[in-house]
Amino acid sequence: MTKAAQLRELLRSDRLIRVAGAHNGMSAKLVEEARFEAIWASGLEISAARGLPDTSIMTMTEFLEVAAQMDFVTAIPIIADCNTGYGDEYNVRHLVRHYERQHIAAVCIEDKVFPKINSFMNGAQTLESAEKFASKIRAAKFAQKSPDFVIIARTEAFIAGLGWEVALARSQIYAEAGADIILVHSKAGTADEIAQFMKHWTFPVPIAVVPTTYPSTTTQELQDLGVKVVIYANQGIRSSVKAMRTTFSRIVQGGHASGFEDQMISVQELFTLQGIES
């Protein structure tokens, strides 16, 4: 079974699909080890891992290389964050063909204008017209070869401060254009915007959310609202950066690397994660 088919099977099931962000092969392995159902090839994490801002600097090819690396070392589906699709409808067709050939299970594109800035950065969050973005969704569906490949349309209406009616209207247009999943993004401190949206969502298209700014909302609470996919998009790199910062600071301040081995994995454990037989 292909990984796209695995994802389709999950979508048909009654299970909540839990997804976590990764930025390289090792972090993807850790997502899989923790028993998430899928891996989010996070644009923010991949950019940050290269020391770059998430502002449309990296190319499609650079992001695809990392997603393919993740796919190579794991057995669960990869969902690729493809920002705004790297351009117009022709760029979207191009990316779908390439990601599908690399066995990526799904791609997600968002309805902001190119070049975009990260949703949590200060500054204007300008959206494309719904009609223009819907044409990108249609182009993506036209380009895919396998019926199992999944196209996710992400609306940033809440991020742009446009309210639930606009989020709902845009999502309906994207669903009608053929999107397999609608990702509704919010940076509110609670899940209230998502709850308001879900009260009015009647299309037979599953909804994904990213609870970065409402982390105390449980997966059960989100499932009770009718959400199908929950993406923990950046917690991995945020926690790993804090751990590395603490370790490096202790070494410099103490002049040695002993006394906190219990906060690191052993070299043998690292070998195991690398697939090296001891």
In the 8-state DSSP scheme, what is residue 145? Answer: -
In the chain, the percentage of residues whose pLDDT exceeds 70 is 98
* Residue 121, pLDDT score: 67
| List 54, 71, 81, 111, catalytic entry | 54
Burial class (CB in 10 A: 0-12, 13-18, 19+), 120: middle
- Close Cβ partners of 29 (under 8 Å, ≥ 6 residues apart): 73, 74, 273
- Mean pLDDT of the region 126-143: 98
Helix (H) or strand (E) holding 230: strand 229-232
- Close Cβ partners of 216 (under 8 Å, ≥ 6 residues apart): none
* Structural domains of the chain, ranges and CATH numbers in brackets: 3-233 (3.20.20.60), 236-278 (no CATH)
Catalytic, 54? Answer: yes
Show the tokens assigned to 207.
């909804």
The whole-angstrom separation of Cα 129 and Cα 110 is 12
Lowest mean pLDDT among 109-123, 124-138, 185-199: 109-123
200 versus 261: the higher-pLDDT residue is 200
The pTM of this model reads: 0.95
Of 142, 54, 128, residue with least CA distance to 94? 142
pLDDT score of 144 more than 70: yes
Show the tokens assigned to 91.
């760029």
Show the tokens assigned to 56.
């449309």
Q: Are 144 and 179 in contact (CB under 8 A)?
A: no
* Residue 114, pLDDT score: 79
Lowest mean pLDDT among 97-101, 158-162, 178-182: 158-162
Residue 153 pairs in a beta bridge with: 109, 182
